Amino acid sequence: MSNCALPPAPGTDLRPLLLCCHSEGGAVRLPDFLAGVPGLAPWEAAVSHSAGEHGWVRVLAAHGPVYVAAEADRLLAGLERFDLLVVAPLSLNSLAKFALGLRDSFPSRVFGAMVDLGRPILLETTGLPRPDTRINPHYAKIYRRYWDTLNGGSIAGFTPDTFAIVIDRLARTRRALAGKPPSLAGRGVITRDDVLAAFQAMTPLIVPPGTLLTDLAREEAEARGVPIRFD
């Protein structure tokens, strides 16, 4: 079975996994921005060790299934059932681990596995250092660089105010892709437009056997951070 992300069938809601990391100085709050969003199925949550120590499990468990670090292997084994990963809050520590490709914590293992699956990943950006931040400017610059490293391809940012807009765009693009006739192996040509469609849908660019990938399409994919998978 391929591990490439495939658009859900038209009319099917996207099933999210919420990943909660306790942000620096952040308060425990319900992810109300996930409620009632068209195109989004009910969420399940994964909670980092530090978030669990600050009471996130108790708050989230009243609204849906919650996984903690001790259940990491069980969650990862069934990760393919989720259509996207929503990281909120995003701690600066987790941001650094994601950008560096480390997989030595529960959140970083979940993040890395979703990257491997080619699933869209949405990161809440409200915790990123602002120009008036109180942290050391040197560290603020490093964290901004980490964000710039991640942003693109199947990874994008959001705020609670823009989340519904991001989901609407993602769902509509994926429904449009699901309605397109599949390319015939050995007869198809992958163009720049196909790359832009994959970019909007936050999915890898799938190149069937014998299909021609133009140089312009390859360059566009590299520029936009769209993964290319030859199936």
Q: Domain check: are 195 and 222 in the same one?
A: yes
> How confident is the model at residue 158, as a pLDDT?
94
Q: Domain check: are 90 and 150 in the same one?
A: yes
Q: Domain check: are 74 and 188 in the same one?
A: no
Q: Determine which helix (DSSP H) or strand (DSSP E) holds 73, and give its type and residue range.
A: helix 72-77
- Structurally, the chain folds into a number of domains equal to 2
45 found inside a domain: yes
> Which parts of the chain have pLDDT scores under 50?
1-11, 183-186
Q: Domain check: are 217 and 142 in the same one?
A: no
Final residue before a domain boundary, out of 123, 142, 167 = 167
Strands 121-124 and 212-213: unpaired
173 found inside a domain: no
162 found inside a domain: yes
pLDDT in tens, 106-160: 999 999 999 998 899 999 998 888 766 677 888 888 999 999 999 888 899 999 9
Q: Domain check: are 29 and 135 in the same one?
A: yes
Q: Domain check: are 74 and 106 in the same one?
A: yes
Q: Domain check: are 23 and 100 in the same one?
A: yes
> How confident is the model at residue 180, as a pLDDT?
59
> How confident is the model at residue 10, as a pLDDT?
42
> How confident is the model at residue 178, as a pLDDT?
67
Q: Domain check: are 122 and 143 in the same one?
A: yes
Instruction: List all residues 6 or more positions away from 118 whose beta carbon is below 8 Å from its beta carbon.
Output: 3, 4, 5, 154, 203, 204, 227, 229
2 found inside a domain: no
Q: Determine which helix (DSSP H) or strand (DSSP E) holds 67, and give its type and residue range.
A: strand 66-67
Q: Which of 12, 84, 82, 90 is nearest to 51 (CA)?
A: 90
Final residue before a domain boundary, out of 167, 202, 217 = 167
> How confident is the model at residue 169, as a pLDDT?
83
Final residue before a domain boundary, out of 167, 191, 211 = 167
153 found inside a domain: yes
Q: Domain check: are 43 and 111 in the same one?
A: yes
User: Can you give the pTM of this predicted structure?
Assistant: 0.77
> How confident is the model at residue 8, as a pLDDT?
45
Containing domain of residue 73, as a range?
A: 16-167
Cβ atoms within 10 Å, residue 196: 15
Q: Domain check: are 139 and 185 in the same one?
A: no
